Structure 1
Amino acid sequence: MAEWVERVDEQDEVLAVVDRAEAIRRRWLHRVATIVCRDRAGRILVHRRPDNMSRFAGQFNWMLGGATEAGESYEEAAARELSEELGVRGQPRFVLKFRCAGVVSPYWMGLHEVVVEDQVRPDPSEVAWHAWLTERELADLVRHEAFIPDAREAYDRYWATAANSKRP
């Protein structure tokens, strides 16, 4: 079944609606929305992908997310992914956007964050394990070889943005 996404250019302007598999195969830019989840104490949700995933099987990530569907904004996609992957409703707040070279294919990443106040119910087809880590614990884990490389790039950009905005 096709997953329709918007092929975009170097300025993130829409060129066409295409099948995501084709966008990846041809290395066309498209959009991905991600979410950093924090709890009330400020800890960050980290998860491991299931071993049977086609991409990044068994690897760690500190973001949830996925492709932005055709006609969907980054913010709408982030809220949808939060619900699908964690069973939580919320309005993730946009933090930054950047062109990610991507291990599999290049894409524009819209990174969001949200404070999760409800109990999470991770979808086992997306999340094999999860834990709430402190910023220090995450900083140690992010350099581990089992951490998704694209997520490591996002981590570095996120903290550079946080430092520039004087976020706590």
Structure 2
Amino acid sequence: MDERVERVDDQDRALGVVSRRQAIREGWLHRVAVTVCRDERGRILVHRRSGQLSRFPGFYEVVVGGAVDVGESYEQAAARELAEELGTCVLPRLLFTFINRSGVSPHWLGVHEAVVLDAVVPDPDEIAWHDWLTEPELRSALLEWRFTPDSHEAFSRYLAIQTAQS
């Protein structure tokens, strides 16, 4: 069964409930929550999407996440996705939201950050490979590997926020 999401407007206000498939097909805004995961040494989790996924199979990602369910907050969705995809219970912190037009369809993207202290146990249906990279290693990988469009957009905005806070 297709996921149900809230169709939202350009102010992130709910307009109604639709299927995610329909939102993507029609180009309707809906919500997606992602998290940049860091370990205790400040390295960033990077993973390669499973080859069986319908969207961007085999591409790399610097964020973990998915669609925000009906009635769920960005933070709740981010925590749920971390548990589902990485097997870790951590409370991510929402950093910012923006309308992302660089993926399959436009959507509001809630970008979070979390420090993951426990070992991750990725869901093999979602994640084929993962590793922790330093920022310089990740910058090189972003130039050499095939990353999802969301990863490029979210990570560049994430770095801008980090730089502004320094």
- Whether these two folds match at TM > 0.5 is yes
Q: Deviations over 1:37-89 (max 9, x none)?
A: 11100101000001121111100001000000000000000000000000000
Offset at 1:142?
Answer: 1.5
1:41 paired with 2:24, answer: no
Structure 1 length as normaliser, TM-score? 0.96
- Residue 2 of structure 1 corresponds to 2
**Structure 1, 31-40 or 140-149: larger mean CA deviation:** 140-149
Tell me which residue corresponds to 1:153: 153
Q: Provide, for residues 1-42 of structure 1, a one-character-per-residue CA deviation record: whole Å limited to 9, x for no partner.
A: 121101000011110011110000101000000011111001
Correspondence for 2:97 = 97
CA distance in 1, matches of 2:91, 2:110: 14
CA distance in 1, matches of 2:7, 2:107: 9
Q: Distance in 1 between matches of 2:136 and 2:11?
A: 34
Q: How does 1:108-119 map to 2 (within 5 A)?
A: 108-119=108-119
- RMSD of Structure 2 on Structure 1 (CA): 0.9
Equivalent residue for 2:125? 125
Instruction: Give CA deviations for 1:97-146 in whole Å, capped at 9, x if unaligned.
Output: 11100331000000001111111100001100000000111111122351
TM-score by length of 2: 0.97
Please say if residues 60 and 145 of structure 2, whose CA atoms lie closer than 8 Å, have aligned partners that are also in contact.
no
Residue 137 of structure 1 aligns to a residue in which SS? Answer: helix
In the other structure, the counterpart of 1:51 is 51
Between the two proteins, what is the percent identity of the paired residues? 55
Distance, in Å, in 1 between the alignment partners of 2:34 and 2:139 is 18
Once the two structures are TM-superposed, the CA of residue 155 in structure 1 deviates from its matched residue by: 1.0
Which stretch shows the higher mean deviation, 145-154 or 69-78?
Answer: 145-154
Give distance in 2, aligned partners of 1:101 and 1:64: 18
Query: Please, which moves more after superposition, 136-145 or 35-44?
Result: 136-145
Q: Which runs of 5+ in 1 are unaligned?
A: none
